[in-house]
Amino acid sequence: MSKAKPNRVPARSQPARPATPRQAVAVGQAERGQIAWGSCIVGLIAGEVLLFVLSNVALGVANAAFGTAGFQSADGGIVGVSTFLAVISGGYLAARLAGRFGLYQGMVVGIGFIIVGALFQFGQEASIVHSSLASGTHTLVDLGPMSMGNLITGDMLALVGGSIGGLLSRRR
C-alpha cells in the first residue's frame, strides 16, 4: 500500500522587501536610472543663457574700460571664464534638480555644452561657405587652421566645469 501524498501547490514567491528605508531608496534609484535627462536639459539651457549674458556683459565692460582694439582677434579669456562659470552653474542646477548622482548630471551638462559649441562652430563655418557659393565664386574658402589644443582644452573645460558643478550640489 502506498500512501497518497497530498498535492501541494507551490507558494507564490513574493518580491523581497527591502529591510531598511535606505535600501528601498537604492532600489528605487536603480529602477529610475542614473541620468535625469529633464534636469540636465534645464541645467544646459540655464547655463547657455547665463553664458550669453555673462560673456556679453563682460565683453561690453572690457570694451568700455580698455577699448575695442583687440576685440575681433582675442577677448583676453573673458569668454573662457564665462563658459567655465556657466557650465559650473548649469551642472549645479541639473544636479540639484535631479537630487541624485550629481557628478553624472554635471558631466551630461558639460557634454551638452560641447555639443552646442560644435554645432555653433559648424553653423558659422557653413554660413561662410554658403555666402561664398552664393556670391558666384567657386573657389576654396579658407576657414583658417583648426587648433586641436584649443579644441581639447575647451572640451576639458566643459567637462571639468560640469563635474565641479555637479559635485558642489551635494546637500550637506
| pLDDT, tens digit, 9 for 90 and up, residues 78-121 | 888 999 999 999 999 999 999 888 899 999 999 999 999 999 98
Residues 128, 143 contacting (CB under 8 angstroms): yes
- Work out the number of other CB atoms within 10 angstroms of the CB of residue 85: 18
Confidence of residue 61 (pLDDT cuts 50, 70, 90): confident
Instruction: Return d(Cα 42, Cα 36) in angstroms, integer.
Output: 10
Q: What is the mean pLDDT of the chain?
A: 82
Amino acid letter at 11? A
Q: What is the CA radius of gyration of the chain?
A: 27
pLDDT of residue 25: 53
